[in-house]
Structure 1
């Protein structure tokens, strides 16, 4: 009596022969990233490289918002201002990196079960969890201390508040409805405010309204896109999305877009009693580019493809060109040319 053929490896000879013919007798290669498909990935690389990846270099473009207030006030192009803003950019980047490191260390176990986050250096084992905590904690202490020593007390206070808010977000606030949207939006607003605080520039009401609601527009559009993409796959992404409805998130990004446009238009139409000598009314004309940019971004939000804001802006040629046109007109308006 002969033993039955094992079930693993294919019990039917025809299927086995077909598989061998397709693969040339080779075994199937493991899933990309190391390990087998569905299993924990195995990342190779240096510890320093893993720490750098965890600090999210692609996200650093968000910190360029530190130049927003100085640019709006026409105080961007001077050597002392540029030096101060470069320092503030570096300090804010260090604070954001601290938050990313601590967040990934806390979420390492959950990230290993996620289809894309499982490849993050901490989840993949390239950066040990204790190392991520240690480096993140060190940056969280040194960055505000350096700000207190090298910049103004207002900048140091804002960086400290940013760290406290973001760490609270990592621990609990990201699980609270609506509050999570407010916290992420406030992080963008703080980036836009810190440059003005560093140079002692008063922040106008229109600047704060446009920046704040513009950030809420992008944040809620991203959440809406995530909710649309995860429909029917509960638990595949952030758990809080299962408590939002797509209708509510659509309402939020539409409301925020409207208020941002209104705030910008009121700024552009307000002369403030200062006569202009420019060839064309660049301040008013910049409304056209700003509104076009919002409408173009809303196309991606409506489709449910508005992921990371920097990827949307840099990945769409039309939106990038509109952005360049807006920057040019805005700059001419500030310079009064």
Structure 2
């Protein structure tokens, strides 16, 4: 992000830092008009209406119907009703630090600053109180949506003369047209051109770049690797029929699109807790590099497409997909906040993919396979929670934001996680013991080599947790870890050797 001054006396390049040259700043701004600062998209990269709306819907989806009724009575009324029902932590909002630095210089020089926003006045006041440099606020109420010409009238009445205005969007053009100083912040190139046509801006603070890669990051395409579990029933049954593999591949794509949509939903519901997290605060939606409406658009495209593809594959598969979506949404809205329940749900969702693969490929799934997967994925889910708590403990925090755990739970969770991994290995041993002279594994004795490989990988995983070498996601660690790839290759070799002559 860069600042581009344009020849007027208050350009950012001529402004000293707040802690140096205050006397010079006073001379520069002695007769400067008051500055009116837009909030949504300008002072903060996010939008308070969307932020508070998500909090309301997270509390109860039934509020959607209430919002439609409130909107019929006007946007100002809608904003007022939502603001009255939610508590928004404004300290966690992604503020435009470059603009804030410039405003602090103006404030130190004695210039009057007013936060003028179309958001509800109560929320605007909370932001002003948090930032601590504004002399007054202007905001919407039940009767007035303070936007465009309505904002202009409120500013003119408050200023009583010339004024400067900092904004970022098309509704701000009406205000800039009457402003004596134009400050363009985080605006698209087309808006900057139109602002320049009205008046040469005092300064232009460029928007942050949003590379296409950021959208892929929001979709968490690397998480599609979890959906490889859909192919497990085919592999376990040694099925080589091409038609079954093709239909399972389509199911993989459907599950991937569905999972990406639910990850976006999860990120939108988790804005506050992600911003409080030392690493998750850089996620695309938490940092507001991708907007909440853009996230909504991704959901509206991916989720229907995935369900349509699932319906085309088979109605039972569609039912399993709908169940996955329902449980995932419940997890995002509430279950993830419940200790123990959250990891059990995650382990079940992993195993659900195997069930879906069996349904699509028309393969009967062994109860042994389901049991092994449930305990193995429970161990991995606990790895993720323990990694989060390890870093919380390192940062001196006692609890994880948006979770039901405390750092004092860490030793207990580690014990459960290691035990779950060992139970998975034990169940695998019992399964192998039943494979003597089986059709699937004619060389079943070779399968015993799987046990030391599994034990090595699980024990190494938990050792790395104790050394804080795994951050949050064990899946991402496994994908990028060379040793995990070697173990996976050896497991595949053992399975192939044991099944020699058993493929259909």
Bucket of the pairwise TM-score, normalised by the shorter protein = 0.7 to 0.9
Structure 2 gap ranges (5+):
1-16, 23-93, 101-185, 187-206
Deviations along 1:166-216, whole A, 9 cap, x unmatched? Answer: 011111111112111111111111122221111111111110011110000
Shift of 1:35: 5.7
Deviations along 1:210-232, whole A, 9 cap, x unmatched? Answer: 11100001110221121122112
Q: 1:191 to 1:43 in 2, by over 3 A?
A: farther
| 1:119 corresponds to 2:282 | yes
Shift of 1:243: 7.2
**Match for residue 72 of structure 1?**
236
Deviations along 1:269-325, whole A, 9 cap, x unmatched? Answer: 112653688568322332332222222223223334343122332343333212210
| 1:106 corresponds to 2:269 | yes
Q: 1:334 to 1:238 in 2, by over 3 A?
A: farther
| 1:89 corresponds to 2:242 | no
**Match for residue 28 of structure 1?**
none
| 1:134 corresponds to 2:297 | yes
| 1:245 corresponds to 2:409 | yes
**Match for residue 196 of structure 1?**
358
**Match for residue 60 of structure 1?**
224
**Match for residue 453 of structure 2?**
289
**Match for residue 332 of structure 1?**
497
Deviations along 1:94-116, whole A, 9 cap, x unmatched? Answer: 11111111122223344344433
Pairs within 5 Å for 1:1-337: 8-9=19-20, 36=97, 43-45=208-210, 49-75=213-239, 77-149=240-312, 151-231=313-393, 232-234=396-398, 237-242=401-406, 245-271=409-435, 274=438, 281-306=445-470, 307-336=472-501
Structure of higher RCO (CA pairs closer than 8 Å, 6+ residues apart): 1
Query: Is 299-308 or 64-73 further displaced after alignment?
Result: 299-308
Distance in 2, Cα, partners of 1:136 & 1:290 = 37
Shift of 1:128: 1.9
Distance in 2, Cα, partners of 1:175 & 1:327 = 37
How many residue pairs get aligned? The number is: 307
Distance in 2, Cα, partners of 1:276 & 1:73 = 7
Q: 1:67 to 1:246 in 2, by over 3 A?
A: same
TM-score (norm 2): 0.55
Shift of 1:60: 1.6
When you count helix as a share of all residues, which structure comes out higher? 1
Q: SS in structure 1 opposite 2:493?
A: helix
Segments of 4+ moved more than 4 angstroms: 33-37, 235-238, 275-280
Q: 1:238 to 1:336 in 2, by over 3 A?
A: farther
Distance in 1, Cα, partners of 2:272 & 2:368 = 43
Distance in 2, Cα, partners of 1:196 & 1:329 = 23
When you count strand as a share of all residues, which structure comes out higher? 2
In the alignment, is the contact (CA less than 8 A) between 1:222 and 1:308 conserved in 2? yes
Distance in 2, Cα, partners of 1:157 & 1:277 = 33
Q: 1:10 to 1:186 in 2, by over 3 A?
A: farther
In the alignment, is the contact (CA less than 8 A) between 2:437 and 2:444 conserved in 1? no
Q: 1:299 to 1:142 in 2, by over 3 A?
A: same
Shift of 1:67: 1.3
Distance in 1, Cα, partners of 2:451 & 2:460 = 14
In the alignment, is the contact (CA less than 8 A) between 1:226 and 1:304 conserved in 2? no
Shift of 1:238: 4.3
Q: SS in structure 2 opposite 1:228?
A: helix
In the alignment, is the contact (CA less than 8 A) between 2:443 and 2:499 conserved in 1? no
RMSD of Structure 2 on Structure 1 (CA) = 3.1
Distance in 2, Cα, partners of 1:224 & 1:241 = 10
Query: Is 313-322 or 275-284 further displaced after alignment?
Result: 275-284
**Match for residue 22 of structure 1?**
none
In the alignment, is the contact (CA less than 8 A) between 2:450 and 2:491 conserved in 1? yes
TM-score (norm 1): 0.80
Distance in 1, Cα, partners of 2:263 & 2:440 = 45
